[in-house]
Amino acid sequence: MVAYAFILPWVIGFILFVGGPIVASFVLSFFRWKMIAPPRFYGLTHYINMVTTDELFRTSIWVTFKFVLISVPIGQVLALILALLLNQRIWFLGYWRSAFYLPAVVSGVAGSVIWVWMYHVELGIVNNGLALLGIEGRNWLFDKELVLGSLIVKSLWNIGIPMVIYLAALQGMPQQLYEAADIDGAGEVPKFLSITLPMLSPAIFFNVVMGIIAAVQTFAEPYVMTGGGPDNATLFLGLHLYQNAFHYLKMGYASAMAWIMFLLIFGLTVFQFGLAGRWVYYEGGAR
């Protein structure tokens, strides 16, 4: 009884602020509700409209898909490279680790505002840095050909989180494997490919799963930096959902969209777990 009493505050909080809204959003997805009028039952109409008439939904899925496909692999590779570098004995190691992790503790909104200024056409550090190299700056956030790439680069600002996980995994590597490889005369590249990567595969798997989930849910960056433009080039699924909820007051439709987003993330995660058996190596477990 005492134990339950201790967990009760969390349970109540979960029910009120997480579990309740989750179930409520599911129920609302079958209703038409614009907040200022009572909800009306709408059946599966929202789900049907989403795939048949809402062109912007398709646009947002495509934008999100491109973002995930490009930002997650680049982010993981860079995080791994950084972790490998920061796993060396170098001067100011603590400083470098903190510096690369620091952006991860900055809120998405604050980070986005910083990047808006960095990308500013006249005053931004990006264009001014390019000017020093004799390269003409671009309108990073208002050119529809460039803007998604600009947000992908901004997303790399947060690679401190997977980097720390890779670093922890690297520091837990069993050294006897490297010693055995040294005795066999293996070089650095074979050691990396045959020992480091397989031993890191659980961490890679975890980071990729979490990275994809975060990328599909991207919201703060397009909301703050571009508003979804220009010409809907950065209309992410999360932003389209928000606009439907709070700009168009289509709460039922936005709820339906949230469930589609959930199913998308769930499907991608299940797919990854399905593939994991082929490439993730757990020490002491089956490959």
For binding to another protein (CB under 8 A), which residues are involved?
A: 1-4, 11-12, 15-16, 19-21, 23-24, 27-28, 33-39, 56, 120-123, 139, 142, 227, 229-232, 243, 246-250
CB of 152 to another protein, least distance (A): 22
> What's the CA gap between 15 and 166, in Å, rounded?
34
Rounded least distance, CB 1 to another protein, Å:
5
Distance CA 220, CA 208 (A): 20
CA distance 163 to 68: 18
Residue with smaller CB distance to another protein, 139 or 201: 139
Nearer to another protein, 154 or 250 (CB): 250
Q: How far apart (Å, rounded) are the C-alpha atoms in residues 201 and 221?
A: 30
Pick the closer one to another protein by CB: 75 or 228.
228
From the CB of 5, what's the least distance to another protein, in Å? Answer: 9
CB nearer to another protein: pick between 12 and 110: 12
CA geometry: angle at 174 spanning 202 and 78, to 5°?
Answer: 45
Nearest residue (CB) to another protein, 49 versus 272: 49
Q: How far is the CB of 154 from another protein (least distance, A)?
A: 18
Work out how close the CB of 61 gets to another protein at its nearest, in angstroms, rounded to a whole number. Answer: 17
